[in-house]
Amino acid sequence: MNIVIFIHSLNFGGAERVAAHMASYWAQAGHITTVLTIAPMDKNQYKLPKEVRIRSINHEIKSTGIISAAQNNLVRIWKIRNSIKELDADVVVSMMTPANVMLGIASIGLPAWTVGSERIHPESHKINRLWYSFRKYCYFLLDTIVTQTTETETWIRENTNAKLTLVIPNPIVMPVPSQNPIIKPPIESNKKLIVGVGRLTPQKQFDHLIKAFSTIQNQYSHWNIAILGEGEDHHALNELIIESQLSDRIQLVGRVGNIADWLNVADLFVMTSSAEGFPNALIEAMAHQTAVISYNCPTGPAEIIEHGFNGLLVETNNIEELTSALNKIMSSPTLGSLLAENALKIKDRLELNKIMKVWNQAIGL
């Protein structure tokens, strides 16, 4: 089968990582597999096997207004349509709302089977009214819409005209691939490490972790925090760390390509997002036998964590409850070890071959 995966880019990110895993899996299974991006190919960060073809429509142009945005998107749709025809695609899988909408329009009248994939819960991820309307009225142009959770599937059914929906969670690929930059984690036998992973953006709310930790840090002088990622909130987070007088305890590490090395030495993983889709960082931490605490945000954590068994769920945005959860694990090595041991079972549930069998059904393999 000739399979095309359409995504904005293969730059760092959860959807991008899943797209890379899917492309690698299908290519190594003997299918002609192409990753089609909007961004130039030099922005691709994920290593793919030589069997995967990479192609770009090379139209990542910033719009200056409504008219230029319409013009740019029409050009993108035209280039996507031509690429689908030139690649003679049997199946096209798109990632994220704008790509889904553009694929639906671009594929009108073409024989390719089309599958759109929502990567975050729409109710929690606000998009402008135009894209919202396109999603609502154009999803019927796609043969299937894949969501990562049942909550998002329900939302799509109730708020769009999608013909068919299917829930497919993200897979876990072990070992987690490494790439540049390689930054070695600290290894200190007398220290404990809390790790947070993600872009430094308002959605990730790493300031909540810093604030919660700051209220109990005097009780736990042997615990430190490392936050892996880069983004627009770096300056504000750094200022908060300085104000909290925790510069020697909390490190903003920046972008890290060897996350697995950090998860291997982590004693606790904390996720404070206001919204997710199906968080890769959380399931990868659990797969590295790390105790986890997560806000019970929409969506994903509640379908991943069984509270008190393989992790702790905290009411979203409740910093007091987050502080209590931190205190529970930091004060009890026994509880941390038990949660970590049970967290490891996520590896079998989300094993790549199991998840890709469902994707194979979605695309008619």
Residues 123-130 have a mean pLDDT of 85
Q: How confident is the model at residue 64 (pLDDT cuts 50, 70, 90)?
A: confident
Q: How confident is the model at residue 179 (pLDDT cuts 50, 70, 90)?
A: confident
Cα within 13 Å of Cα(74), Cβ side: 6
Each residue's pLDDT tens digit, 211-256: 999 999 999 999 999 999 999 999 999 999 999 999 999 999 999 9
290 vs 61, higher pLDDT: 290
Read off the tokens for 157.
């059914």
User: Which range (40-49, 109-118, 251-260, 296-305) has the least confidence?
Assistant: 40-49
Determine the pLDDT at residue 216.
Answer: 98
- Find how far residue 111's CA is from the centre of its chain: 30
Q: How confident is the model at residue 296 (pLDDT cuts 50, 70, 90)?
A: very high
Nearest to 198, CA basis, from 103, 279, 117, 87: 279
Q: How confident is the model at residue 315 (pLDDT cuts 50, 70, 90)?
A: very high
- For residue 32, pLDDT over 90 is answered with yes
Q: In 67-112, which ranges are E strands?
A: 91-95
| CA distance linking residue 39 with residue 8, whole number of Å | 6
- For residue 65, pLDDT over 90 is answered with no
Determine the pLDDT at residue 63.
Answer: 85
Determine the pLDDT at residue 43.
Answer: 74
Determine the pLDDT at residue 42.
Answer: 79
- For residue 290, pLDDT over 80 is answered with yes
Percent of the residues in the chain that have a pLDDT greater than 70, as a whole number: 100
Which domains, and CATH codes, for the chain? Answer: 2-171+351-362 (3.40.50.2000), 192-349 (3.40.50.2000)
Read off the tokens for 271.
């996720």
Average pLDDT of the chain is 95
Bridging pattern class, strands 2-7 and 32-37: parallel
Each residue's pLDDT tens digit, 248-283: 999 999 999 999 999 999 999 999 999 998 999 999
Whether the Cβ atoms of residue 120 and residue 92 lie closer than 8 Å to each other: no
Residues 198-214 have a mean pLDDT of 97
Q: How confident is the model at residue 177 (pLDDT cuts 50, 70, 90)?
A: confident
Q: How confident is the model at residue 67 (pLDDT cuts 50, 70, 90)?
A: confident
Q: How confident is the model at residue 339 (pLDDT cuts 50, 70, 90)?
A: very high
CA dihedral (320, 324, 329, 330) in degrees, to 10, reads 80
User: Which range (169-178, 289-298, 300-309) has the least confidence?
Assistant: 169-178
Determine the pLDDT at residue 229.
Answer: 95
Determine the pLDDT at residue 178.
Answer: 86
Residues 30-52 have a mean pLDDT of 90
Determine the pLDDT at residue 198.
Answer: 94
Whether the Cβ atoms of residue 310 and residue 322 lie closer than 8 Å to each other: no
Determine the pLDDT at residue 37.
Answer: 96
- For residue 138, pLDDT over 80 is answered with yes
